Amino acid sequence: EVLLVESGGGLVKTGGSLRLSCAASGFTLSSYSMNWVRQAPGKGLEWVSKISPSGTFLYYADSVKGRFTISRDNAKNSLYLQMSSLRAEDTGMYYCARVLTKMATIGNFDYWGQGTLVTVSS
Amino acid sequence: IVLTQSPGTLSLSPGERATLSCRASQNVGSTYLGWYQQKPGQAPRLLIYGASSRASGIPDRFSGSGSGTDFSLTISRLEPEDFAVYYCQQYDNSLWTFGQGTKVEIK
């Protein structure tokens, strides 16, 4: 069974940093591109970042570019999102999500974790 | 690109047909057009990918269609568990975009 479990969320002050983790099981992480998607309270979905299977190619939404860094450790079956210079508008649920097709850089997201909540407040 | 979903809210009864629209601000093809369902307190679930292919385990009452800039998700007969928020998703220029969502509520 494919399982994605996020952790690392919490309350952080404006300007602070946080590192999110996503533990993957039930599939070979190194064969799939992965993404982070967030959702502000009561709002819609916003794509944040994606990483290719080997970690070579990284992409970011304009809203987080220069502040967030996506990475992965395939040997540890883990995906990460390092967030810095956090703002109030970064508050929300953060989901990791797997791309549908093996070894593809691009694809819709077929498995999602349950999310980890990040709250940024002064 | 900008994805505009309509209507914002759809009020229907179980057994009725639901048609949701997703319009893109420019033509980006249909290869990566996806539809997701999200229920309160849950993660989104992939329903449709490539504009018209059902994801694994998705009932055949869900269907997707469209091309170019206009796409739609149809639920042929609403079941009680189908009342939720639905998002479309599209890919362009190395970035993903979601629509703002359509809420399907019980009338």
Task: Provide DSSP, A10-51.
Answer: EEEETT--EEEEEEEESS-GGGS-EEEEEE-TTS-EEEEEEE
A contacts of B90 (beta carbons < 8 Å) = none
The average pLDDT across A60-87 equals 98
Interface probe with B: pick from A108, A111, A116, A117, most Cβ of B within 10 Å: A108
Task: Provide DSSP, A71-122.
Answer: EEEGGGTEEEEEE-S--GGG-EEEEEEEESSTT-SS--EEEE---EEEEEE-
A contacts of B89 (beta carbons < 8 Å) = 45, 47, 108-109
A36-51 confidence digits (pLDDT tens): 999 999 999 999 999 9
B contacts of A47 (beta carbons < 8 Å) = 89, 95-98
Please answer whether residues A95 and A112 qualify as being in contact, where contact means their C-beta atoms are separated by less than 8 angstroms.
yes
Mean of pLDDT over chain A: 97
Q: Is B28 left (phi over 0), alpha (psi -120 to 50) or beta?
A: alpha
Which B residues 61-100 touch A at CB under 8 Å? 87, 89, 91, 94-100
Residue A54: its pLDDT value, please? 94
Q: Please return the burial class of A95, using the count of CB atoms within 10 Å of its CB with bins 0-12, 13-18 and 19+.
A: buried
Report CB contact under 8 Å: B43, A95: yes
Report CB contact under 8 Å: A100, B49: yes
Report CB contact under 8 Å: A46, B98: yes
Residue A104: its pLDDT value, please? 87
Residue B12: its pLDDT value, please? 97
Mean of pLDDT over chain B: 96
Residues near A23 by Cβ (< 8 Å), separated by ≥ 6?
A: A3, A4, A5, A6, A7, A77, A78
Mean pLDDT by 10 residues, chain B (107 residues): 96 97 93 96 97 97 96 98 98 94 97
Residue B76: its pLDDT value, please? 97
Cβ-Cβ contacts under 8 Å between A and B: the total is 56
Residue A9: its pLDDT value, please? 97
B contacts of A112 (beta carbons < 8 Å) = 43-45
Residue A111: its pLDDT value, please? 98
